[in-house]
A and B are shown apart, each in its own frame.
Chain A
């Protein structure tokens, strides 16, 4: 099976993706991750204004069979939360890079992007 891995995103080893931007980044989980989880039934996310640290858990995603923590790709303040997921968690399965996005972060340290994996590196990881 082949998974969608957009080239313009950065990735964490734990399968989260992030856009790359100075102002605001959008974060989600990869196509591979949603496939591994199976039917997503519940998402727990932080509130706008909360702060997160790179590599620490900011929320939880549950499928019928599994509970997984979600890890922040970069540190910063939460500026957006995809509340549509509370009623339609299946968006994570249907459109993990689009309507299934999780949170938006205003990054506090742009140097942190250097710690993330490129699409190419992530492709090798899940190969």
Chain B
């Protein structure tokens, strides 16, 4: 598959960014060092280019029905200017992707939405939406506008000041998961009070052709996907395609610890399977682990009990820059998943002691 590049690939290269392949996108992974970028976001503010995230717009008379029946959360509670986190599940309840759904201002008296698929999932979800619209005979426009938008995340305790310096100050009055339109450097943008770092922050959508003006308007530490990953891991946030994946790591929202975005009082694809699972419970559950022995947990490492029997697997792991401890995320048999209990991680053939830890690792 051809690599997709963010609109500012050349700007980032000139800034000395090293790049990595992610979800078929070639994205900046590191500008200075992961530690420097991570610390900037935890203590001050940093800006990420997250243009690998997709954008799909849905509008028309049945837009609300279509969105509601394809996402696990209750779409009816959203007013224009609000957003919510949700999973997209298939019939057996397995997560295809997780997403943020924005309700936009009505268009010609009809409801309109924008949702954000993860890197490389925009085409798949566009097809999923169109296929179900046809199957259910609904009237709604489904537009994959991923290439039209660049997306930047400005994150950190000082993000309100940095955003207020370049946009109308009223933007900083947005509550969590609220969004609005505002001008930055003369460019019309959509700004949401959302993020993936655990810090206060904003995510900004701007048209691709003027993305450079918006990016350069912010005077703060540029950050790559490396720091984005360590920040989200410290918070225990799921990474699509790694902590869950319909083929490699098929998991339901209950297994993945995001049952709070499942509203069983709504009708959606996967609901029946999830009703059953809520009753019977899951075999495994999503946990955090902290290394007690020296070492770094990594995705793919087995979790074993004292007899060496397999009881789970890690899906993510790193050295926490904030805690200076090895931390991991993964799935563990529920009977072992008690915070404070110890578990062994098999690191290159030898067992290392770790402790099950309440998420998030870094309290906010």
Binding site for B on A (CB under 8 A): 1, 38-39, 41-42, 44, 60, 62, 64-65, 67, 86
Contact = CB atoms under 8 A, between A and B. Distances in A.
23 contacts: A1-B16, A38-B33, A38-B226, A39-B33, A39-B34, A39-B321, A41-B296, A41-B319, A42-B296, A42-B319, A42-B326, A44-B295, A62-B296, A62-B319, A64-B35, A64-B226, A64-B230, A64-B318, A64-B321, A65-B34, A65-B226, A65-B318, A86-B294
A38 B31 CA distance: 11
Contacts of A39: 33-35, 321
A62 B298 CA distance: 11
Contacts of B321: 39, 64
Question: Is the contact region of chain B dominated by helix, strand, or loop, or is it mixed?
Answer: mixed
Most buried by A among B16, B230, B296, B348: B296
Nearest to A42: B296
Nearest to A67: B298
Contacts of A62: 296, 319
A60 B226 CA distance: 20
Contacts of A38: 30, 33-34, 226
B29 interface: yes
B30 to A, nearest CB: 6
Interface residues of B, number: 18
Given A38-B33, A38-B226, A39-B34, A64 B319 contact: yes
A58 to B, nearest CB: 13
B214 to A, nearest CB: 27
Contacts, number: 37
Contacts of A1: 16
Contacts of B33: 38-39
A64 B326 CA distance: 10
Contact of B294 (A42, A64, A65, A67): A42
By Cβ-Cβ distance, the 3 closest A-B pairs, closest first, are A41-B319, A64-B34, A39-B35
B48 to A, nearest CB: 15
Contacts of A67: 296, 298
Interface string B287-324: 00000001110100000000000000000001101000
A62 B229 CA distance: 16
Contacts of B30: 38, 65
A90 B226 CA distance: 17
Nearest to B20: A65
Nearest to B324: A41
Most buried by B among A38, A60, A64, A67: A64
A60 B352 CA distance: 15
B295 A65 contact: no
Most buried by B among A39, A42, A62: A39
Contacts of B296: 41-42, 62, 67
A92 to B, nearest CB: 13
Given A60-B348, A64-B35, A42 B295 contact: yes
Interface string B7-37: 0000000001000000000000110011100
A86 B343 CA distance: 23
Given A64-B321, A86-B294, 18 more contacts: A1-B16, A38-B34, A38-B226, A39-B34, A39-B35, A39-B321, A41-B296, A42-B296, A42-B326, A62-B296, A64-B35, A64-B226, A64-B230, A65-B226, A65-B229, A65-B318, A67-B296, A67-B298
A1 B18 CA distance: 12
Contacts of B230: 64
A44 B295 CA distance: 9
B255 to A, nearest CB: 27
Contacts of B319: 41-42, 62, 64
Nearest to A40: B319
B328 to A, nearest CB: 13
B143 to A, nearest CB: 35
Contacts of B318: 64-65
A38 B321 CA distance: 13
A59 to B, nearest CB: 11
